[in-house]
Structures are given as structure tokens and as C-alpha cells.
Amino acid sequence: MTLAVTDFAVVMPEIFLLTMACLVLVIDVYLPETMRNLTYQLSQGTLIGTALFIVAMYPTKPVLAMNSMFVSDQMGALLKLFICGIVFMAFIYSRGYLRDRNLLKGEFFVLGLLATLGMLVMVSAHTFLTIYLGLELLSLSMYALVALNRDSAQSSEAAMKYFVLGALASGMLLYGISIIYGVTGQMDLAAVANVIKADHEHHTALVFGVVFIVVGLGFKFGAVPFHMWVPDVYQGAPTPVTLLISSAPKLAAFAMLMRLLVDGMQHLHADWQGMIIVLSVLSMAIGNLVAIAQSNIKRMLAYSTISHVGFLMLGILTATKTGYAAAMFYTIVYTLMSLGGFGVILLLSRAGFEADKLDDFKGLNARNSWFAFIMLILMLSMAGMPPLLGFWAKWAVLSELINSGFMWIAITAVMFSVIGAYYYLRIIKLMYFDKPEDTNPLTADNDMRVALSVNGLAILFLGLVPQGLLTVCLTSLG
């Protein structure tokens, strides 16, 4: 096995991120408590640097590296940029919250950076092993992050639940991979695809393997019926960690899905299509209906995530380039909205007070009409109201479904969107129509206020001119 210098150039962003994560870990140990901000600044610098490396290495066509363990293509580069950007924003949102609770420790940032590394590896994986490596790096960092507040029984319980179910999911995925490997004798995704294309004898065995891979993916995405961990983990984890779990990893999960099902098993799409339909429809149904019954906003957003996952998977099932692009656009848009949504929860929280009840949003318009407006944009966007970005995401997926002849699925999807609109409207109702019960002023830092405003306005302005983002998603898939 020989490695050329060019191999390292392609993997530069990941190498930089890994090195810096280790450096931050070491530096943080020697920092006095008063200089903890340096860890934060270094972590943010790392993310910016990684993003710059990604931009510098932006591929024009797919490049394989490290004995084709690793692939760098436009889809991957775009997803990686968004992952870095979203983690960057998440760190800004989290700082004040963590400081108020004495949780502003190096662990949060180091684990966050390692999770980011895991995501980048997943995005660029070109063999089953690389995918698994990235996935485990992400998952293990996340388990630890959920338990960050170790004195909280709720957090520990959530971490335990997340760990057990996550391990189960990884097991499923590995089992599926091992079956596919058994049939094809290949680890490399392109090679697997070639063998599957030529092989007509072992179809049953291959489909058997695909079932387990889809189950594993379903767990990671949190699609029904593999969603049980999502609400508990979202609620139990400290809000900054919930923010991290709910946003960037979805991009990585999307990439994993693309790598496994599309790059590796494109020729079995007739078989996985049906499974995806079941997962999607169930996710939209359970997600939207159960969200209505929630009184905790983190739980409500967890079910909302489940329903969005259902919607974005619809783009995959068309098995067309434009369909994948629509799903990718949906995933990116979803992460931006989720980022903002949890950002507002963090904004309303302060020392000794978690703004995680729906009622904590009462009268926000009277308290601070600007951030009520930002939350209004976010909620309406999640509900799919034009001209916000969330509408275009739904539009893109629906358009692809109808073009491919899945009319009934499109109708089902819009029906559930209408049901979903109800619980987003309820937040707006609480903010605008009810009197405030809590009259404490908002205490967030200025950088957070600016970041959150940018986040919300981006949803509005990108919704007015969605051409750019739509085109980028379309071209990055070739």
C-alpha cells in the first residue's frame, strides 16, 4: 500500500481538523479557568481553517485518494462546508449557555470538533470501512456530549439510551455490510456497485443485506419506526448538544445514505425504494401527529425533525439525480432551520432557567419583537410557508415526486404538512397572541444576537432568491 503526496492534499481538511482538535485538547488542559475563552476561539479558528481548506481543495470532478478509501467530490465538498458552517454557528449559540451553567469546558469543543471530523469522514467515505469509521467517531463523540452535564440524571439517562440504541443501530449496519461483503467480496463502494450490476444470482441475499443497511440508516436519521431515541435524547441532552445533534449530523447521514444506497447499491433501487417509502410516510405521519401533543419544545422539535426526515427521504426514492439534489437541498435547509430554532431556545435560556417549555415562548413579541420575528420566520419556514426557504425545500421534493409519477405520495406528503403547520402555528400563537408571563430581559451576548439574526434573515432572503442554493445542489450532484 503506497500513498502519494497528492493523497494527503485531498485529505488536507480532515488532517488539519484532527491535528487542531488534538492541539486544542492539549492547550485546554494547561489553560486557567479565566482563559477558557481561548479554547472557544481556537475551536472556531479550526472550523474556519477547515472550511478554507475545503474551499481551496474544491474538486471539479470526483477524486479518489488513500487507495480509494476516500473520495472528494462536489457533493461531499458542499456538505462539508455546510457542516463546518453549522458547527461554527452552533458553537456561537452555545457559549453563553454553557458559561452560565459552568459547562464551558474544553471537552465540549474538543468533542464537537471530533464529531465534526467524523462527519467529514462519513461524507467522503468510499468504502464500507471508512463509512463505519466516520460514523463511530461521530457517534462516540455525541454519546459523551449528551452526558456532558454529568450531574443531571436526565442527561445521563438520555446518554445511556442514545448509546444503547446507537450501538444497536451500528450493529445492524455492520451486519448488513457484512452480508453485502459476503456476496460481493468488495469493500469499495464503486466495486460493490459493479458486482451488483453484473450479479443476478444472489439478488435475495443482497436485498437481505440492504434491509439491514436501511435499518441502520433509519436509526441514524431517526426515521420511524427507528425513532424512539430521538425525543428522549433531544429533551435530555443539554440544549447546545441537542442543537449539535439535530443539525450537522443530518447532513452527514444524508451523505452516508447517498454513498451506501446510491453510489453502492444504485442497481438495487427497485428494492430499497419501497423501504424508503414506508419509512418516509410513517415518519411524516408519526412525527407530525405526535408533535402536536408535546408541551416541551425540545421534544416538539424532535418530532418535527422526524417528520422532516420523512419528507427529505422522499427525494431519494425517485432515484434520479434531480431527486437526490432536491433531498440534499431539503437536508441543508432543514439544518439551517433547526439551527435557528434551537438557537432561539438558547437565546431565551439563562442561568438557572431552561426555556424548554412551550409556555416559555408566551408573549415573546411583547418582550422582544425582533427575536419573535426571527422565530416567526423559522417556524413558518419549517411549516413550509412561502416565500421562506422551507417552502422551496418542500417544493423541490414535491416537484421531483410528481415528475417521477409518485402523485399519491406527494398528496400524502402535503396532507401531513398541513397537519404539521398546526404545531408551528401554536408557537407563533404563544409568541404573538398571549401575554408574557416572564418579563426578564433577554441576556444573550451580542455575537449570538447577530448570528441568530443572520440565521433567521438568511432563511427569508434565500427564500426570496432560492436560485443560487438550488443550483449549487443540482450541479454538485453532476
Q: Rule CB under 8 A: which residues touch another protein?
A: 365, 369, 380, 385-387, 391, 395, 398-399, 402-403, 407, 410-411, 414-415, 417-418, 421-422, 425-426, 428-429, 432-433, 465-467, 470-471, 474
Q: Which three cell numbers stand for residue 381?
A: 419556514
CB closer to another protein, 360 vs 400: 400
For 399, the 3-state DSSP assignment is: helix
Residue number, 175 or 422, with CB nearest to another protein: 422
387 or 436: whose CB is closer to another protein? 387
Q: How far is the CB of 423 from another protein (least distance, A)?
A: 11
Q: Which is nearer to another protein, 118 or 456 (CB)?
A: 456
CA distance 205 to 46: 44
Closest approach of another protein to the CB of residue 418, in Å? 5
| DSSP E strands, 21-93 | 63-65, 70-72
Residue placing its CB nearer to another protein in the complex, 241 or 473: 473
Contact in structure between 250 and 334 (CB atoms under 8 Å): yes
Query: Which position has the grid cell 402523485?
Result: 407
| Least distance in angstroms from the C-beta of 379 to another protein | 11
Residue type, position 119, single letter: M
Please, which residues have CB within 8 angstroms of residue 277's CB and are 6 or more apart in sequence? 317, 409
When the beta carbons of 233 and 428 are compared against another protein, the nearer one is: 428
DSSP designation for 353 = B
Distance between start and end Cα atoms, the chain: 31
Could you tell me the smallest distance in angstroms from the CB atom of residue 329 to another protein? 12
Nearer to another protein, 140 or 421 (CB): 421
Cell (9 digits) for 443? 441576556
Separation between Cα atoms, residue 371 and residue 368, nearest integer Å: 6
Q: How far is the CB of 467 from another protein (least distance, A)?
A: 5
Smallest distance from another protein to CB 381, Å: 11
CB of 447 to another protein, least distance (A): 23
Residue among 427, 402, 428, 426 nearest 414 (CA): 402
**How many Å apart are CA 340 and CA 357, to the nearest integer?**
17
